C-alpha cells in the first residue's frame, strides 16, 4: 500500500505548497513581480531540461523527479498569468449586459496569450520527453492543463464558489467573466469524465503485472486527476474551501479582496500592466 500512498502524499504536498507559493507571490506588491518571474523562468527552464533527462530513466526516483519538474513547468504559466505578464490582448471588463458569443469572445481575448503559451510549453514538454520510458512529467503537465481548462469553463458558465479573493487587483477585470450560480450544464460532464479517467487509472495501477516504477508513475497521475476532480467539487459545494490557501494570503497582507463593481459599458479604463506601473 505504501507504494501508492507515498507518491500520493508527495503529490498532495507539492500541489498545496506550489499553489500556496504562487498565491503568495502573485499577491505581493507589483514591484516584486519582475524578480519573481525572473526566478520562476530560470526554474522553469531548468525543470524543462531536467524533464527531458529524467524521461530516459524508469525508476521510482525518476518518477518523483519528473512529477516535480512537470509541476514546476506548469507553475511558470500560473505565475505569468496572475502577475499579468502573459494574459491576453484584452485588459478590460465586460459590461453587465454582455452575453452569448460576444461575452465568450471577450473571455478568450482576456487569456489568449496565456493559452497560446501553454500550447507552446505542451509541445516543448512532449518534445523533450519523446521516446522516453518515463512520461510522468508529460502526463502531469497535461492533466494540470486539462483540469484547469475545465475549471475555467465551469467558472465562466457559473459556479457557487468563484474564489475571486485570489485574484490580484490588476486582474480584477476578470471577475466580469465569472458567473455565480449553483451549477452549470458542463459541471456534471466534468465530474463524470474526470472520475471515469481516474477510475481507469486506478484499475491499471492495481493490476498484478504493474512494476514498481509503473505503480509510482500511475500514482502521481491518479493523484493529480483526483485533485482536479476534488477542485471541481470545491467550485459548487457550500463550504469555505478557499481557506486551504488562506494562510498564504494572510502572509502577504491580503485577508480579503476589495469588492468589485462591474462597469456599465464595455468601454472602460484600460488596466495598467503591473510590470510597467
Digit-by-digit pLDDT tens for the chain (277 residues) are: 788 999 999 999 999 899 889 888 888 889 999 999 999 999 999 999 999 999 999 999 999 999 999 999 999 999 999 999 999 999 999 888 888 999 999 999 999 999 999 999 999 999 999 999 999 999 999 999 999 999 999 999 999 988 877 788 888 999 999 999 999 999 999 999 999 999 999 999 999 899 999 999 999 999 999 999 999 999 999 877 666 656 555 565 554 433 333 333 333 333 334 443 3
Query: Is residue 265, in this structure, part of any structural domain at all?
Result: no
- Cell numbers at residue 184, please? 452549470
- Per-residue model confidence (pLDDT) at position 75: 96
Query: Is residue 274, in this structure, part of any structural domain at all?
Result: no
The parent domain of residue 87 ranges over: 2-257
- Please, are residues 84 and 274 in contact by the beta-carbon 8 Å criterion? yes
- Cell numbers at residue 199, please? 477510475
Closest CA to 224 of 26, 55, 47, 68: 68
Helices within the chain (DSSP H only): 2-26, 33-54, 60-82, 100-129, 136-157, 186-205, 212-234, 246-251
Residue 180 per-residue DSSP state? B
Query: Is residue 276, in this structure, part of any structural domain at all?
Result: no
Query: Is residue 217, in this structure, part of any structural domain at all?
Result: yes
Query: Is residue 269, in this structure, part of any structural domain at all?
Result: no
Residue 96 per-residue DSSP state? T
Q: What is the reported pTM?
A: 0.87
Query: Is residue 216, in this structure, part of any structural domain at all?
Result: yes
- Please, are residues 33 and 257 in contact by the beta-carbon 8 Å criterion? no
- Per-residue model confidence (pLDDT) at position 246: 60
- Per-residue model confidence (pLDDT) at position 3: 83
- Per-residue model confidence (pLDDT) at position 24: 86
Total domain count, the chain: 1
Q: Which residues contact 222 (CB under 8 A, 6 or more apart)?
A: 8, 198, 201, 202, 205
- Per-residue model confidence (pLDDT) at position 255: 44
- Please, are residues 270 and 48 in contact by the beta-carbon 8 Å criterion? no
Query: Is residue 120, in this structure, part of any structural domain at all?
Result: yes
Which residue, chain included where needed, has cell 481507469? 200
Query: Is residue 208, in this structure, part of any structural domain at all?
Result: yes
Amino acid at each position: 500500500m505504501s507504494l501508492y500512498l507515498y507518491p500520493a502524499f508527495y503529490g498532495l504536498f507539492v500541489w498545496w505548497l506550489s499553489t500556496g507559493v504562487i498565491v503568495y507571490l502573485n499577491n505581493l506588491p507589483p514591484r516584486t513581480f519582475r524578480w519573481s518571474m525572473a526566478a520562476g523562468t530560470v526554474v522553469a527552464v531548468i525543470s524543462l531540461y531536467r524533464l527531458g533527462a529524467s524521461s530516459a530513466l524508469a525508476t521510482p526516483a525518476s518518477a518523483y523527479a519528473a512529477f516535480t519538474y512537470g509541476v514546476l513547468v506548469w507553475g511558470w504559466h500560473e505565475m505569468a498569468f496572475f502577475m499579468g505578464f502573459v494574459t491576453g490582448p484584452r485588459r478590460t471588463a465586460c459590461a453587465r449586459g454582455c452575453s452569448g458569443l460576444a461575452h465568450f469572445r471577450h473571455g478568450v481575448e482576456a487569456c489568449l496569450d496565456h493559452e497560446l503559451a501553454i500550447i507552446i510549453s505542451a509541445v516543448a514538454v512532449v518534445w523533450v520527453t519523446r521516446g522516453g520510458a518515463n512520461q510522468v512529467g508529460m502526463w502531469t503537465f497535461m492533466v494540470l492543463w486539462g483540469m484547469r481548462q475545465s475549471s475555467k469553463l465551469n467558472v465562466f458558465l457559473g459556479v457557487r464558489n468563484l474564489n475571486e479573493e485570489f485574484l490580484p487587483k490588476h486582474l480584477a477585470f476578470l471577475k466580469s467573466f465569472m458567473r455565480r450560480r449553483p451549477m452549470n450544464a458542463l459541471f456534471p460532464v466534468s465530474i463524470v469524465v474526470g472520475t471515469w479517467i481516474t477510475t481507469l487509472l486506478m484499475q491499471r495501477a492495481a493490476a498484478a503485472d504493474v512494476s514498481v516504477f509503473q505503480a509510482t508513475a500511475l500514482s502521481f497521475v491518479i493523484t493529480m486527476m483526483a485533485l482536479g476532480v476534488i477542485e471541481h467539487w470545491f467550485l459548487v459545494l457550500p463550504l469555505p474551501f478557499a481557506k486551504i490557501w488562506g494562510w498564504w494570503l494572510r502572509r502577504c497582507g491580503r485577508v480579503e479582496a476589495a469588492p468589485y463593481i462591474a462597469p456599465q459599458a464595455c468601454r472602460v479604463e484600460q488596466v495598467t500592466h503591473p510590470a510597467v506601473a
